[in-house]
Chain A
Amino acid sequence: MIAKLQAETHLRIGLVVNPVAGIGGTVGLKGSDGSDIQKQAVARGASPRAQHQATKMLRHFADIRKNTFEIITVSKEMGEFATNNANIEAEILEELSGFNALSHSTAQHTKEAVQSLDLRGVDLVVFAGGDGTARDVHAALEGNSSRLPVLGIPAGVKMQSGVFARSAEDAAVILNDWSLEPGKTVPAEIADIDEEAHRQGVLTSQLYGYLNVPDTRRRLQGGKVGSSIGTQSLPGLASECAKLIDSEAMCLLGPGSTVQGVSEHFGAETSLLGVDVLHRGEIIGYDLSAYELHQLTVNYRLQLIVSPIGGQGFLFGRGNQQLDSELLTRLGTNDLLIVCTEDKLAQLGGGPLYIDVPDAENIERFTGYQRVITGTKQTASILVKDARH
């Protein structure tokens, strides 16, 4: 009854399967990074889940796709088996044919595979794995100017990063939606927790960077990570910050996509992972070190806009160590602006947020209940804790 848009595009998909992702989970280990854990897991009888997930995704995609596509992948366990199981013809990267993933899987395999696929000019890379795999993919593309989009098929134990579809089927749907309007992407966090520390019960979380993911209306899995994708309402945060920013002050802009999105609304182009300086409406410092920040802002009133980052919601001490004790000490009582959308706060369970700073005075100042700006004329009061306690 309603005419549908039928675009004619041809999609080139790169596929990488991390054959040992998800091995830890089924036997009660947290994650499967490090070969000792993998051996232990196989010994306990774990069976790799990534093959299965990748096959499911491919089958579903072949069912629903509206456009022609081709798949380029790696031999054997790293993709070939999955395409065979799904009865899909795929081109195999010959240069990596020596890989024997199950016997000696390393992060290096994933990285080389992604780099090869990028060189072959695929439209995006789909990978099956968990946070560790996502980090490897990120590492492969770091410094890459092509901003190659990626999409994760969930097959790991930890999936803190914002690059994963909710399920293998959803990954197929996202891929299909995106194939109708390729090109639109949004950045997603690559986060991970230190598995060894996590097994010991220690709270650690790292933001490793960002990768571009397809911007479609179906949500990616955002359940555990601060910044989920394409769901933020940033204009409200920006308008509230605009009211509070003193244009004569030096306003530091912390890392992360929330602060970057907010900055865009007042016309400032900022670095995604660095700390920038806004002064009189202009960015006068871009991705500065602690030393540079001091040099530039000395004798000025200091303001700071930050947003919680990483899986556990760190305000200071993860991914923004440039904000050193001295800078934090200089902040006046009302000069710390914490911004966070309600969606993201909800994913963090409404807090607590954490700081990891060395000096007692700043711990004292920035822990306890802090006001977080969550939208136009809207704030939340969230508990901030010292991560070392």
Chain B
Amino acid sequence: MSRTHPYVPNASPQTKQKMLDSIGVETVEQLFSSIPQKLRLERPLNIPEGFTSEAKLVRHMSGLLGNNKPTTRALSFLGAGAYPHYVPAVCDEVNQRAEFLTAYAGEAYEDHGKWQALFEYTSLMAELLEMDVVNVPTYDGYQATATALRMAGRITQRSKIVCSTAVVSAKLRRIESFLQGALEIVWVEPRKETGLIHTDDVIELLDDTTAAVYLETPNVAGIVEANGENIAQAAHSAGALLVCGLDPLSLGFTESPASWGADILCGDIQSLGLGLHYGGAHGGFIATHDDERFIYEFPSRLFGLAPTRKDGEIGFVDVAYERTSLAMRDQGVEWVGTAAALWGITAGVYLALMGPHGMRELGDTIASRTRYAIDRLAAIPGITVHHVNSPHWREFMITYDNHTAAEVNAKMLDDDIYGGAEAGDLLTSERSVGADGHSLEASSIVCVTELHSTDDIDELVVAFERIMA
């Protein structure tokens, strides 16, 4: 008996015939009559035959994925933009709910729950960031940052960005590429002695064409910027904005740059319960204060509260929808499309679970373990930890006296340790992180989170001691 594929019900001969009869054709081929023969592929696709059962597919996929060795089966100190944090089971549960997983562009009525969940995400982020306006997530932190800077250009109608170099180089290239033709970038480097951006160095670059200063905290080497308030004042006196990139999770430990007077905050939400997914789990946030000159420059959708015709009932709708390319095509602001909504909902669940004290405890834990690791590694002969006297969170940079980072990591791999991310892949020498004079090839950026116990850090120390000896 002939059987349809489980994913394609109407392919069954009986059903197909009924439908062809309704249409008034004899074969499916006739339905393709508008496609000229010369455009047709006259052979079957060269793709393996489909699996004849779900069980066989599972077996195949298990075999392939079995060739992976995930971080859970090793001891990993890799971060650099994809951070290992615990993903609460409830985050996974909500993320996998069929209703959310398979919903799409439904309106405020059919998909009320989706709109509320996204409004709650932006609202929880707003509390954490201390900003009134947060977008429905864009693709990732790269896009969020690049867009935040273009927003600053449009808001001020100025042409130049003063940008910190203490940012991962792939992100800087992305920013440059997105700003090309719209905004010029001048670079400000962190001071060699502290790894921090110094206010004087920013002031020197500010003029009446400066749209914004961009700072990242913690920066690519895990250093928490300390001069934000002064830099914000300097920028504002020059008529420029301060745009800050940050990991929202770090606000469990530090104050929001909003408290410095920052005008736009941006970054990635990967740390908020999304997991690693081989670098495939990102969402970008952009936050501003409730000022229409800022709000009208968001390309993303913004959700707002609104009353319904029933007393006491609320619904959720787009705020200032006419900004968007969906309403205005290319006369809208940049573009908006499918991006990372379900990751936004998931991050909202994470913040709701963590609550104020959970976030704070987590922030403190990461800070204290990072410092523990810095102290332990600084004591190992043959390893230099950079800027030990500057405040760090989650990451720090080290240089080996006699090894390249690749050599060290290859040796550690034998012990099932994934050593720190190799700095040569993350930084370009001309845009230093204030570690001038040290070879990037001999440097790593080590990441420590709440998932690393002190025992784990001790194990890393032992491995380093063995290699350096």
Indicate if A touches B (C-beta under 8 A): yes
A157 CB to nearest chain B CB (Å): 32
Given A1-B312, A1-B314, A2-B314, the answer on whether A233 and B328 have CB atoms closer than 8 Å is yes
B residues less than 8 Å from A2 (CB atoms): 305-307, 314
Which of A1, A4, A378 is B330 in contact with, Cβ under 8 Å? A378
Name 6 interchain pairs, CB-CB below 8 A, sorted by A: A1-B314, A2-B307, A2-B314, A233-B331, A342-B329, A342-B331
| Cβ-based interface call for A247 (8 A) | no
A218 CB to nearest chain B CB (Å): 15
Mark out the residues of chain A between 337 and 389 whose CB falls within 8 Å of any chain B CB in the assembled complex: 342, 375-378
Mark out the residues of chain B between 274 and 313 whose CB falls within 8 Å of any chain A CB in the assembled complex: 305-307, 312-313
User: Once the chains are docked, how many angstroms separate the CA of A97 from the CA of B239?
Assistant: 68
B interface residues, tally (CB under 8 Å): 10
User: Once the chains are docked, how many angstroms separate the CA of A75 from the CA of B314?
Assistant: 45
User: Once the chains are docked, how many angstroms separate the CA of A376 from the CA of B306?
Assistant: 33
Asked whether, in the complex, the Cβ of A236 is within 8 Å of the Cβ of B307, the reply is no
B residues less than 8 Å from A375 (CB atoms): 330-331
Which residue of A1, A4, A233, A378 has the most chain B CB atoms within 10 A of its CB atom?
A1
Residue of A whose beta carbon sits closest to that of B311: A1
Residue of B whose beta carbon sits closest to that of A1: B314
B464 CB to nearest chain A CB (Å): 56
Asked whether, in the complex, the Cβ of B331 is within 8 Å of the Cβ of A376, the reply is yes
| Mask of A203-236 contacts with B, CB within 8 angstroms, 1/0 | 0000000000000000000000000000001001
A interface residues, tally (CB under 8 Å): 10
A residues less than 8 Å from B307 (CB atoms): 1-2, 4
User: Once the chains are docked, how many angstroms separate the CA of A1 from the CA of B308?
Assistant: 9
Chain A residues in contact with chain B, CB under 8 A? 1-2, 4, 233, 236, 342, 375-378
Asked whether, in the complex, the Cβ of A236 is within 8 Å of the Cβ of B305, the reply is no
Mark out the residues of chain B between 322 and 373 whose CB falls within 8 Å of any chain A CB in the assembled complex: 328-331
Asked whether, in the complex, the Cβ of B312 is within 8 Å of the Cβ of A378, the reply is no
B residues less than 8 Å from A376 (CB atoms): 331
B residues less than 8 Å from A378 (CB atoms): 330-331
Which of A1, A4, A236 is B331 in contact with, Cβ under 8 Å? A236
A residues less than 8 Å from B330 (CB atoms): 375, 377-378
Residue of B whose beta carbon sits closest to that of A4: B307
A residues less than 8 Å from B306 (CB atoms): 2
User: Once the chains are docked, how many angstroms separate the CA of A378 from the CA of B312?
Assistant: 45
B residues less than 8 Å from A233 (CB atoms): 328, 331
User: Once the chains are docked, how many angstroms separate the CA of A236 from the CA of B333?
Assistant: 13
A residues less than 8 Å from B313 (CB atoms): 1
B469 CB to nearest chain A CB (Å): 64
User: Once the chains are docked, how many angstroms separate the CA of A233 from the CA of B322?
Assistant: 10
User: Once the chains are docked, how many angstroms separate the CA of A375 from the CA of B328?
Assistant: 10
A5 CB to nearest chain B CB (Å): 12
Residue of A whose beta carbon sits closest to that of B312: A1
Residue of B whose beta carbon sits closest to that of A236: B331
User: Once the chains are docked, how many angstroms separate the CA of A121 from the CA of B324?
Assistant: 42
User: Once the chains are docked, how many angstroms separate the CA of A2 from the CA of B305?
Assistant: 8
B residues less than 8 Å from A377 (CB atoms): 330
A359 CB to nearest chain B CB (Å): 37
B335 CB to nearest chain A CB (Å): 14
User: Once the chains are docked, how many angstroms separate the CA of A342 from the CA of B327?
Assistant: 11
Q: Told that A1-B305, A2-B307, A342-B331 touch, could you supply 9 new A-B pairs with CB distance under 8 A?
A: A1-B314, A2-B305, A2-B306, A4-B307, A236-B331, A375-B330, A375-B331, A377-B330, A378-B331
User: Once the chains are docked, how many angstroms separate the CA of A342 from the CA of B328?
Assistant: 9
Mark out the residues of chain B between 145 and 200 whose CB falls within 8 Å of any chain A CB in the assembled complex: none
User: Once the chains are docked, how many angstroms separate the CA of A155 from the CA of B312?
Assistant: 38
A residues less than 8 Å from B329 (CB atoms): 342
User: Once the chains are docked, how many angstroms separate the CA of A376 from the CA of B333?
Assistant: 12
User: Once the chains are docked, how many angstroms separate the CA of A2 from the CA of B307?
Assistant: 6
A262 CB to nearest chain B CB (Å): 14
User: Once the chains are docked, how many angstroms separate the CA of A2 from the CA of B313?
Assistant: 9
A373 CB to nearest chain B CB (Å): 12
A197 CB to nearest chain B CB (Å): 36
User: Once the chains are docked, how many angstroms separate the CA of A342 from the CA of B331?
Assistant: 10
User: Once the chains are docked, how many angstroms separate the CA of A1 from the CA of B305?
Assistant: 10
A residues less than 8 Å from B305 (CB atoms): 1-2
Q: What 4 A-B pairs come out closest when comparing CB atoms?
A: A375-B331, A2-B307, A1-B314, A233-B331
Residue of B whose beta carbon sits closest to that of A377: B330
User: Once the chains are docked, how many angstroms separate the CA of A173 from the CA of B331?
Assistant: 29
B residues less than 8 Å from A236 (CB atoms): 331
B329 CB to nearest chain A CB (Å): 7
User: Once the chains are docked, how many angstroms separate the CA of A1 from the CA of B331?
Assistant: 35
User: Once the chains are docked, how many angstroms separate the CA of A233 from the CA of B324?
Assistant: 13
User: Once the chains are docked, how many angstroms separate the CA of A4 from the CA of B309?
Assistant: 11
User: Once the chains are docked, how many angstroms separate the CA of A375 from the CA of B329?
Assistant: 10
